[in-house]
Amino acid sequence: MDAASKPLRIPPQIAVYAEEHKVFDIIQKMVRNLLIDRPEDPIQYLIDHLRKDNDDVPRIIVLGPPASGKHTIAKLLCKRMNATHLTPENMLSNDVSPLVEEARSYKDKGQEIPDELWARIIQERLSKVDCMKRGWVLEGFPRTRDQGLLLQMNGSCPDHVVVLEAPDIVLIERNMGKRVDPTTGEVYHTTFDWPDDPEVQKALVEPEGISEEVTGQRLLEYHRNIPGILRTFPKIYKKLNADQPCLDVFSQVLTFVLSKPRSLAPHTPRILLYGPPGSGRSLQATLLAQKYSIVNVSCGQVLKELVADQTKLGQLIEPYIENQQQVPDNLVLRALTDCLSRMECSTRGWVLHGFPRDTEQAALLSDTGFIPNRVFFLDIPDDVAVERLSLRMTDPVSGERYHGLYKPAPRVDIHQRLQQNPKDGEEKVQARLDMYHANAEELEEFYQDVIHVNADQDPYTVFEFIESCIVKPLPKSVPGDPPSP
C-alpha cells in the first residue's frame, strides 16, 4: 500500500521548530518579494534574501498634518529601535546618486518632483545597508495616494503606518510658535520647548511657512489626501491622538509598532494552564476546548481513564491512585506522551493542566518535544483559594456540587447530607498551596514567556483575557528591553 495514503503523523518536534523559526512566514515573504522584484536568477535571489536576515527589522511610516509631532516621534522611534530616520529632505541632501541629482534639478527650477522619481529615490535609499540591516522610519511620505501606490509597486512596503491626529486649531497654534536655531538647525517652541540659554534664545528665528494662512492651506491639502493614503494601507495603519504629552503619544506609537501583524501560518494551539488549587484551570480548559475544538488534556483525568480501561500502563498506575500516592513522573510522562501524540492533538491542538508541577517535570515534557506556545499562570490569593475549595460540598444522592458561599444547597435536608472531599479540607488545601508556591518561581523561569492572569474575578472575564492572548501574536521585543515581568 502507498505510504502516502496512510495518516501522516508529524513528530511534534517539527511543528515546534517550524513555529519557533517562523518557517512559514519566511517562505511567504520570500515568495512575495520574488513576485515583486522578478529577478533573472530566482534561486540566487532567494539565497541572498536568506543571507540578509532582516525580515524582523522595523519598517515604519509616520504621517500627520503640520505640527502634529511626526518629526519628534520618528526621531524617538529611531533612537529606541536603532533604525534609520528618513525624510524627503534628508534623502535629497545626503545622497549624490543620479536619481537625487535629477530630483535636485527639478527643485532648483521650482518644479514639483515627479512621483515616479520619488518612488525610485526611496527604493534606492531603502536598499542601502543601514536600512536593510537596521530597518527604517520614513517620515512625512507618501503625501498622496499615487505616491503610496508607487511605493507598493516598487516593493517599498511598510509593516506599520502611524497616523497622528489633532484639532486644526491646536496644530495652527503649535506651528506658529516654532522657532529654529539657524546654526544647529534645532527646532524649538515658544510655549512647549523654549531653550534655557539666553544666547540661543536671541539667535532663534521664525521659519518660513508657519503663518496661519500658509498652515491652513497645508492642513487643507493634508485632509484632502489622507483618506486616499489610508486606503493604500488599509490593514496596517493606526490613528493616534497627538494632542497629548509627547511621551504619552510615543508610548502608544511604540506599543503599536511592536505589535506583530497576524500571521497566515497554520497555528496549532499548545496551551499550558498553571496555577494554585482553586484557580479555575479545569474550567478555563473546558471553555477553550469547547470554543476552539482543541483537546482538553487533564493530567489527572488521563491517568484515571487509563486505570478504568485496564490498560497495561493503567495497571501500573492503579496502585498509586488507590493508595493516594503521587504517580511517578516516568509513568505520568508515558501517559501524556501517548495522549498528546494522537492525531487529534497534533492537528487541533491541546490545552494541558495538572502537569508539569515543577521544573523537573517541565524539562521531561520539553525533552519529549511537547513544548507549549502559550503558558498562562492563573493567580489568586491564598485566602481565596482556601475559600473556593474548603466550602465545596457534594450531594451523595444526586451528585450535584454545591458551595457554602457561591452555590448553597436549596433545602435543609440536602444541606445536611452534603459531604466534603477529604482533599478539600483547609489544612490539605494549604499544604497544596505551599507546594505550589515552592515551585512557581522556578517554573516561571523555565517558561520565559509566561502570561499572568488575574483569576480572582468572573471566570468568563478570565477566559476573555486568555482568549485574547491566544488569538493575537505576542509583541516583538527590542534589543535592550527588560525581561517580561
Q: Is residue 358 part of a domain?
A: yes
Q: Is residue 479 part of a domain?
A: no
Verify that 313 and 455 share a domain, yes or no.
Answer: yes
Verify that 276 and 237 share a domain, yes or no.
Answer: no
Looking at residue 285, the DSSP 8-state letter turns out to be H
Calpha distance 136→126 (Å, rounded): 8
Calpha distance 316→86 (Å, rounded): 68
Question: With 50 as the cut, is the pLDDT of residue 484 above it?
Answer: no
pLDDT band at 485 (very low <50, low <70, confident <90, very high): very low
Q: Is residue 28 part of a domain?
A: no
Out of 150-164, 364-378, 415-429, pick the least confident: 415-429
Q: Is residue 16 part of a domain?
A: no
Q: Is residue 85 part of a domain?
A: yes
Calpha distance 299→333 (Å, rounded): 10
Calpha distance 228→347 (Å, rounded): 42
Segment 335-354 shows an average pLDDT of: 89
Verify that 250 and 282 share a domain, yes or no.
Answer: no
Verify that 232 and 381 share a domain, yes or no.
Answer: no
Q: Is residue 438 part of a domain?
A: yes
pLDDT band at 40 (very low <50, low <70, confident <90, very high): confident
Verify that 233 and 287 share a domain, yes or no.
Answer: no
Question: Amino acid identity, residue 285?
Answer: A
Residue-wise pLDDT tens digits, 138-173: 999 999 999 999 998 888 889 899 999 999 888 888
Domain end call among 205, 233, 257: 257
Nearest to 92 by CA among 122, 59, 128: 122
Helix or strand holding residue 297 (H, E): strand 295-298
Verify that 335 and 415 share a domain, yes or no.
Answer: yes
pLDDT band at 1 (very low <50, low <70, confident <90, very high): very low
Cell numbers found for residue 317: 498506575
Verify that 253 and 290 share a domain, yes or no.
Answer: no
**Is residue 168 within 8 Å of 219, Cβ to Cβ?**
yes
Verify that 193 and 73 share a domain, yes or no.
Answer: yes
Share of the chain above pLDDT 90, in %: 34
Verify that 420 and 365 share a domain, yes or no.
Answer: yes
Domain end call among 201, 235, 257: 257
Count the helix, strand and coil residues of the chain and give each as a percent rounded to the nearest 5. 50, 15, 35
Number of domains in the chain: 2
Burial of 346 (0-12, 13-18, 19+ CB in 10 A): buried
Verify that 105 and 242 share a domain, yes or no.
Answer: yes
Q: Is residue 45 part of a domain?
A: no
Q: Is residue 381 part of a domain?
A: yes
Verify that 285 and 365 share a domain, yes or no.
Answer: yes
Residue-wise pLDDT tens digits, 112-146: 899 999 999 998 898 888 888 889 999 999 999 99
Strands 401-403 and 392-394, sheet pairing: antiparallel
Out of 155-159, 329-333, 336-340, 457-461, pick the least confident: 155-159
Range of the domain at 180: 58-257
